């Protein structure tokens, strides 16, 4: 049901945008036999974001990735940002919300690295791993 809405809504918006592009007051080119030609409609390319994540195998992999970052005391803001951005794509809000927290903590750590931001990164990692443990039990996943 949710997947259907995600496909139908963008398609409906696209059709509505195309309908708004044509206007009855615009002149149309005449063909060789004198009949009005159909106006050409050009559409801007539709950009789509990364696909939402719903499969358990990908979520398990992400749980293990974030656990490895924490276990190795890896406070690399870029690695944590990448993991957090993937976590935000998970359809289950129990994962996506802590993923958003990891993105926020990684952004702060990138702007001002130090012990305080490392603590925030570690807490954001733990918040995500709590969701992993709640859904899948003890790791490794």
**What does the pLDDT read at residue 5?**
42
- pLDDT-flagged residues of the chain (< 50): 1-27, 31
Say what the pTM is.
0.64
**What does the pLDDT read at residue 83?**
96
Q: What is the DSSP letter of 32?
A: T
């Amino acid at each position: 049901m949710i997947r259907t809405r995600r496909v139908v809504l963008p398609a409906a918006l696209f059709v509505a945008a195309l309908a708004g592009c044509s206007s009855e007051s615009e002149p149309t080119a005449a063909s060789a036999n004198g009949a009005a030609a159909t106006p050409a409609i050009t559409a801007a390319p539709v950009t789509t974001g990364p696909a939402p994540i719903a499969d358990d195998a990908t979520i398990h992999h992400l749980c293990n990735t974030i656990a490895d970052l924490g276990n190795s005391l890896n406070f690399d803001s870029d690695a944590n940002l990448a993991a957090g951005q993937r976590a935000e794509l998970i359809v289950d809000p129990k994962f996506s919300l802590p993923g958003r927290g990891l993105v926020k903590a990684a952004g702060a750590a990138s702007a001002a690295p130090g012990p305080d931001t490392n603590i925030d990164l570690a807490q954001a990692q733990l918040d995500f791993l709590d969701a992993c443990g709640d859904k899948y039990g003890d790791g490794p996943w």
